């Protein structure tokens, strides 16, 4: 009895997670290969704004890239689930490097806006979905119901946030200190090198569902799960925060006559994401993920509502840090809910719907904030994160019932009973629920949130 209590209340650390056999082989190259998501948009904005002199034009090109990624990312997830990650990544990273190189060349040659937008389509479509693939590998490597699943979810969110600390700051430093095209060139190189190394780790990739016997799980699209659709709306709002902040911070730095300040301000914002992500991974939460998501999103909306009032770099940095601290809990909780709502056979697709939603929200926000910044200054651009998170919060409150798992078979590691298996008795069901809750790092029954 005592040992059972210890297992339920303890939380494995990141060190124990990284000692999982084969973990470092996909974690390290995966970090390099997911840089495009953090570097691509800001690098495009900085290059196109430099060559055209317009934030609006830069926002359009970046938006086309983001929309293309958002539309194609779930299809890439489906292909990875069906045929294997390596089979999708190998041609994908090669295509992305070529597409980004073409976009860079066109921008430097002074191509018209329509040509840049056209070149942005393949650049966005080919962005490798490494983050969702890494999350799927953790789920495949760890035992169902393992407490390490919760640690893995937190670790991946912290890694994403660290990427958003390093990526935009690195891209800004390269574009402003080396060459306007240096950000995109570095992004393409990292994608190619990291993607090829990640794709080479075939031993740790999940088995493709298209090449295995039936597992008893339904293979319908992850989009058919109502809770996933609600989470997409929430992640659209988060993407709008990223896009609105990138453009508006750039415009603010131009207004004060210090373009290099953009990297510092965005780095402070992204550092808040990372700090909050580390803290969320260390806490054994006593409230359910659905309630955490709503509370976290309310805090994000409140913080975003103050951005447009900042008129100094110090104040804007402080508000940006506050916004960053509010984003990580929403992201982590959203990914945790996916693991509870979606069966393993479509989990990569589900993760890519969320990352695609972030990209789409970012793309729309970049476009709208760019035009507002051109016409009315950076303060108007900061209204975009406020509007997007406000609408998403209303949606979450109205449709929060859709985020509740409907049955234990939806939980990570669980599968629907087959004809040869007896239906679980209530005591057994409760045991499965407790085990699954330990797998996602909560100590409360799944029905309480």
Count of alpha carbons within 13 angstroms of residue 229, beta-carbon side: 8
Q: Output the six-digit token pair for 5.
A: 């209590």
Does 433 score more than 70 pLDDT? Answer: no
How far is Cα 316 from Cα 269, in angstroms, rounded to an integer? 9
* H or E segment and range at residue 258: none
Domain that holds residue 386: 21-207+223-439
Whether residue 432 lies inside any domain: the answer is yes
Read off the pTM.
0.69
- Domains identified in the chain, total number: 1
Does 430 score more than 60 pLDDT? Answer: no
Whether residue 366 lies inside any domain: the answer is yes
Whether residue 138 lies inside any domain: the answer is yes
Mean pLDDT, the chain, as a whole number?
78
Closest by Cα among 174, 181, 163 to 36: 163
Q: What is the CATH number of the domain that holds 68?
A: 1.20.1250.20
**For 212-264, how does the pLDDT look when each residue is reduced to its tens digit (9 = 90+)?**
444 444 456 777 788 888 999 999 999 899 888 888 888 888 888 887 787 78
**For 21-75, how does the pLDDT look when each residue is reduced to its tens digit (9 = 90+)?**
888 888 888 887 887 777 888 899 899 989 988 877 888 898 888 888 878 888 8
Whether residue 16 lies inside any domain: the answer is no
Whether residue 10 lies inside any domain: the answer is no
pLDDT of 392 reads 93
Closest by Cα among 439, 223, 437 to 351: 223
Give residues with Cβ within 8 angstroms of 114, minimum separation 6.
none
pLDDT of 179 reads 93
Q: Mean of the pLDDT values across residues 332-355?
A: 78
Whether residue 3 lies inside any domain: the answer is no
Whether residue 218 lies inside any domain: the answer is no
Whether residue 316 lies inside any domain: the answer is yes
């Amino acid at each position: 009895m005592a040992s059972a209590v210890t297992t339920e209340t303890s939380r494995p650390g990141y060190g124990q997670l990284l000692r999982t056999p084969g973990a470092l082989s996909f974690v390290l190259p995966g970090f390099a290969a997911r840089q495009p998501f953090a570097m691509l948009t800001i690098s495009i904005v900085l290059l196109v704004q430099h060559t055209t002199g317009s934030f609006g034009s830069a926002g359009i090109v970046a938006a086309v890239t983001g929309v293309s990624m958002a539309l194609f990312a779930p299809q890439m997830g489906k292909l990875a689930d069906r045929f294997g990650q390596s089979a999708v990544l190998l041609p994908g990273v090669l295509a992305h490097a070529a597409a980004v190189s073409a976009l860079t060349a066109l921008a430097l040659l002074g191509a018209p806006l329509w040509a840049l937008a056209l070149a942005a389509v393949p650049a966005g479509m080919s962005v490798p979905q490494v983050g969702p693939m890494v999350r799927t590998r953790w789920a495949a490597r760890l035992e169902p119901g393992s407490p390490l699943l919760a640690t893995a979810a937190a670790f991946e969110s912290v890694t994403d946030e660290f990427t958003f600390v390093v990526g935009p700051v690195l891209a800004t430093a390269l574009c402003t200190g080396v060459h306007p095209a240096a950000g995109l060139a570095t992004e393409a190189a990292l994608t190619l090198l990291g993607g090829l190394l990640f794709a080479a780790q075939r031993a740790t990739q999940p088995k493709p569902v298209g090449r295995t016997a039936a597992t008893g799980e339904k293979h319908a699209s992850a989009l058919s799960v109502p809770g996933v659709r609600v989470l997409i709306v929430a992640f659209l709002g988060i993407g709008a925060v990223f896009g609105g902040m990138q453009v508006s911070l750039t415009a603010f730095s131009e207004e004060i006559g210090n373009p290099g300040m953009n990297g510092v301000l965005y780095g402070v914002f992204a550092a808040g994401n990372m700090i909050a992500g580390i803290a969320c991974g260390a806490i054994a939460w006593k409230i359910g993920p659905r309630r955490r998501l709503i509370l976290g999103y309310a805090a994000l909306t409140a913080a975003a509502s103050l951005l447009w009032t900042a008129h100094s770099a110090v104040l804007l940095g402080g508000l940006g840090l506050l916004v960053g601290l509010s984003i990580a809990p929403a992201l982590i909780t959203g990914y945790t809910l996916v693991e509870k709502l979606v069966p393993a056979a479509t989990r990569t697709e589900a993760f890519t719907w969320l990352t695609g939603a972030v990209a789409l929200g970012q793309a729309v926000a970049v476009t709208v904030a760019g035009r507002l910044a051109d016409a009315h200054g950076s303060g108007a651009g900061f209204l975009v994160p406020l509007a997007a998170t406000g609408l998403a919060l209303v949606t979450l409150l109205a449709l929060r019932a859709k985020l509740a798992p409907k049955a234990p078979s939806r939980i990570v590691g669980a599968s629907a009973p087959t004809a040869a298996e007896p239906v679980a008795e209530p005591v057994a069901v409760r045991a499965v629920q407790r085990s699954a809750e330990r797998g996602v790092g909560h100590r409360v029954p799944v029905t309480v949130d």
